[in-house]
Structure 1
Amino acid sequence: MGFLSNVPNGDIRQVIRHFTPNWFTANMGTGILALMLALFPYGHWGQAEIAKALWCINSFFFALFSILFLSRAIFYFRDFQKLFDHPVQSLFIGAIPMGFATIVNGFFIIWPLRPESLAVATAFWWMDVILALTSVLLVPYFMFTSQGHSMERMTAAWLLPIVPPEVTAASGGLVAPHLASAAAENVIYMSYVLWAISVLLAMGILAILLLRLTLHKLPHQDMAVSGWLTLGPLGTGAMAMITLGNADFASFHGVLAEMAHFAQMAGLMIALLLWGFGLWWMCMAIFFTLRYLREGLPFNMGWWGFTFPLGVFNAATYLLADKTGFWVFQPLGAVFTILLAFFWVIVTRKSFLGMWTGRLFRAPCLSEETGLPMSCESAQKASQKASTLVP
């Protein structure tokens, strides 16, 4: 059986029509694995070459997914609009800037930096700023106005459109030290604004999630992996505080030099607090996963949630090891990298099998898909029903 015969209706155009942004979670997971392999502190077994290969593969697939996503917006605009009314699929719009950020970071972590690559990386970073702001503004607007939500159906997936600005902020801390003074300051100031937007909103969502889990217990098995998403804002929030503190110290001079010293010390303290909070959520995510495994854990694209959140928490661990010298962080970071690679292999294999069978090429906005609790039509009906109950 050929691939084309497995896609909806046997028509490759249906791949475009059903293409959803959750495919960009594969970019998030693959990109963060490449970065963590490049930072792995033990041995020389070719991990640098593997990291470069993964970065190139990830960049190719990001370009391919972007073409498919834009093609759907252009050629199937009415179907594309339905995405924004879906209470789960719309959240994955946040995966686009986060996947793109891993490519930007690769210029500084994986490859030798040259003037040409710095110019490209800086331009890409500003593009990522636009994408991140689009996610954090557009998706919540539709959540507030047209989608159907309830406390019982709420999951950590709500974090997906919220986290991108702080991911971009962490990348800004890598970009700024290599720029001229004025350009570096612009990147740094923008990054702090992005961090504030994202982290404070994420903390509110985590508080609501804690209440939801207490009142309504664990979500359905199809959303089991969402528990790992809680590591995302805490890991990237810690990362950004350290990278921006370093950027302040490298870029600020004169009157701002004292502020840079304070930002570096305060950033390290905030990073430690966020990392500790994230460690508690990681323990909860492990406990949840073990419980779900006993009940059965059906595969869907949400499984990529095993990778990126763990990866950014891993990155924060490596940064803390470098800044504090505390002996626990470096070996713990290595363990996280190995676990990340293990998850990536499993999820990548299952994703390719889903691509071959065509099951993953069915947009929930246009047809029901296992792993997503509500179609667009169901969401609209729920929203209409709710509106009739409000005087």
Structure 2
Amino acid sequence: MTFEQMRAVTLGLQPLSRLDSPREVVRQFTPNWFAATMGTGILAIAFDGAKRIFGHSVVSMFFGCIPMGLATIVNGFLIFGLPRYGEVAVGIAETLWWIDVAMAAACGVAIPFMMFTRQSHTIDQMTAVWLLPVVAAEVAAVSGGLLAPHLVDPHSQLLVLTLSYALWALSVPIALSILVVLLLRMAVHKLPHANMAASSWLALGPIGTGSLGLMTLGGAAPAILSANGLERFGAFAEGLGFFGGLLLWGYGLWWLAMAVLVTLRYLRDGLPFNIGWWGYTFPLGVYAVATLKLGTLLPIAAIHVFGAVLVAVLAVLWVIVGTRTVRGAWRGDLFVSPCIKD
């Protein structure tokens, strides 16, 4: 670097070096500068609004829906995109999966931490929406089980497989502990308000996803472990996937029956529509997929038929909820933010 270049850099580091005199600051000060005030002010207001969402004891739980929604896109690239776009779809899915993992882990840790430190909760006001932040990690685990076999590098396969098992463990045991508290809450304080009726189905989410996750990871594990010199663990992983998935699926039957009975009770007393009705769809859907997956592992036709029935019910529910959502959005009935009202 020449002397002149060094001098130019040095001058550039000095305050007001571009002005002939410090007094030029006043003379050259124009109203444009107030745009900085506007931008800074609106950013502060936006953050104050976001703070309300994070601090709300119900709305903040739905942040977990963001990574879960992204996981369905990852799965779509692997299931539908791979035949159409080839390896490009795998690359996109892998990139999105890592983003999904980061978001799911953040939700699973940050939201419960805020529950412990900033939000106000009582057992009588508890619902199954407590599950939403922690379930996102196991949804990402299922996507990892689908993604890993499509990766070329064996080490990358092992990394995704291992992290997927860790994500499963980051979610399912915590979700099951929440279900224990939820069972107590229901017995002591009875059913929540009709506006939260759909939350009775949310328990199927972690159970169905946990079952599907074990079966999916168990199916992918033997080949991946063998490719990395760990073939001695392959049979165990496959067996764990089958029996663990079967046990969780059986556990889900109880919650499915209870969700149906609770919904019938709400229907008898009147069931107002709200955006929470989408809570009927995803948990039932993932339990249906877990049922179909189990049907491919067990030579019992009734399980596959049961899964097909669940898919048919899901399709009907999706049409009903989708139609009412469009109608409610058109009229503006569904655009209500409890955190702002509070």
Same fold (TM over 0.5): yes
> What is aligned with 1:223?
196
> What is aligned with 2:246?
272
The percent identity for this pair of structures is: 47
Select which of 101, 111, 114 maps to 1:129.
Answer: 101
Q: Can you give the 5+ residue segments of structure 1 that lack an aligned partner in the other structure?
A: 1-71, 368-374, 376-391
Contact persistence 2:81–2:89 (CA under 8 A): no
**1:160-175 equivalence runs, <5 A:** 160-175=132-147
> What is aligned with 1:111?
81
Once residues 200 and 73 of structure 1 are traced to their aligned partners in structure 2, the CA distance between those partners, rounded to angstroms, is 39
What is the Cα deviation at residue 133 of structure 1? 0.7
Task: Name the Cα RMSD after superposition.
Answer: 1.5
What amino acid sits opposite 2:55 in the alignment? D
Select which of 87, 96, 110 maps to 2:66.
Answer: 96
Once residues 252 and 150 of structure 2 are traced to their aligned partners in structure 1, the CA distance between those partners, rounded to angstroms, is 30
What is the Cα deviation at residue 329 of structure 1? 1.5
Once residues 73 and 100 of structure 1 are traced to their aligned partners in structure 2, the CA distance between those partners, rounded to angstroms, is 27
> What is aligned with 1:206?
179
Once residues 338 and 43 of structure 2 are traced to their aligned partners in structure 1, the CA distance between those partners, rounded to angstroms, is 16
> What is aligned with 1:320?
294
Q: Do the aligned partners of residues 178 and 75 (structure 1) sit closer, same or farther apart at CA in structure 2, a change above 3 Å counting?
A: farther
- CA displacement 1:98-135 (0-9 Å, x = unmatched): 11111111122233341111000011111110110111
> What is aligned with 2:276?
302
What is the Cα deviation at residue 76 of structure 1? 2.2
What is the Cα deviation at residue 77 of structure 1? 2.2
Answer yes or no: is 1:342 the counterpart of 2:312: no
Once residues 102 and 321 of structure 1 are traced to their aligned partners in structure 2, the CA distance between those partners, rounded to angstroms, is 22
Specify the SS of the correspondent of 1:305: helix
Once residues 53 and 143 of structure 2 are traced to their aligned partners in structure 1, the CA distance between those partners, rounded to angstroms, is 28
Answer yes or no: is 1:182 the counterpart of 2:155: yes
Answer yes or no: is 1:147 the counterpart of 2:112: no
What is the Cα deviation at residue 362 of structure 1? 2.5
Select which of 184, 195, 202 maps to 2:168.
Answer: 195
Q: Do the aligned partners of residues 129 and 73 (structure 1) sit closer, same or farther apart at CA in structure 2, a change above 3 Å counting?
A: farther
- CA displacement 1:206-247 (0-9 Å, x = unmatched): 110111111111111111110100000000001110111111
> What is aligned with 1:238?
211
> What is aligned with 1:363?
337
What amino acid sits opposite 2:166 in the alignment? V
Once residues 98 and 82 of structure 2 are traced to their aligned partners in structure 1, the CA distance between those partners, rounded to angstroms, is 21
> What is aligned with 1:248?
221
What is the Cα deviation at residue 284 of structure 1? 0.1
Once residues 247 and 283 of structure 1 are traced to their aligned partners in structure 2, the CA distance between those partners, rounded to angstroms, is 31
Answer yes or no: is 1:281 the counterpart of 2:255: yes
What is the Cα deviation at residue 156 of structure 1? 0.8
Contact persistence 1:249–1:257 (CA under 8 A): yes
The alignment covers a number of residue pairs equal to 297
After TM superposition, the score normalised by the length of structure 1 is 0.74
Which has more helix, going by share of residues?
2
- CA displacement 1:55-101 (0-9 Å, x = unmatched): xxxxxxxxxxxxxxxxx989822211110111100000000011111
- CA displacement 1:165-215 (0-9 Å, x = unmatched): 000001100000111200001101111111001001001001101111111
Contact persistence 2:78–2:89 (CA under 8 A): no
Specify the SS of the correspondent of 2:82: coil
Once residues 285 and 322 of structure 1 are traced to their aligned partners in structure 2, the CA distance between those partners, rounded to angstroms, is 26
Contact persistence 1:73–1:80 (CA under 8 A): no
Once residues 73 and 338 of structure 1 are traced to their aligned partners in structure 2, the CA distance between those partners, rounded to angstroms, is 46
What amino acid sits opposite 2:107 in the alignment? S
What amino acid sits opposite 1:344 in the alignment? W
Once residues 303 and 73 of structure 1 are traced to their aligned partners in structure 2, the CA distance between those partners, rounded to angstroms, is 33
Once residues 299 and 358 of structure 1 are traced to their aligned partners in structure 2, the CA distance between those partners, rounded to angstroms, is 13
Q: Do the aligned partners of residues 257 and 73 (structure 1) sit closer, same or farther apart at CA in structure 2, a change above 3 Å counting?
A: farther
Once residues 106 and 49 of structure 2 are traced to their aligned partners in structure 1, the CA distance between those partners, rounded to angstroms, is 20
What amino acid sits opposite 1:364 in the alignment? P
4+ aligned runs moved over 4 Å, structure 1: 72-75
What is the Cα deviation at residue 356 of structure 1? 1.1
After TM superposition, the score normalised by the length of structure 2 is 0.84
What is the Cα deviation at residue 138 of structure 1? 1.2
Contact persistence 2:57–2:120 (CA under 8 A): yes
Answer yes or no: is 1:311 the counterpart of 2:289: no
Once residues 175 and 119 of structure 1 are traced to their aligned partners in structure 2, the CA distance between those partners, rounded to angstroms, is 10
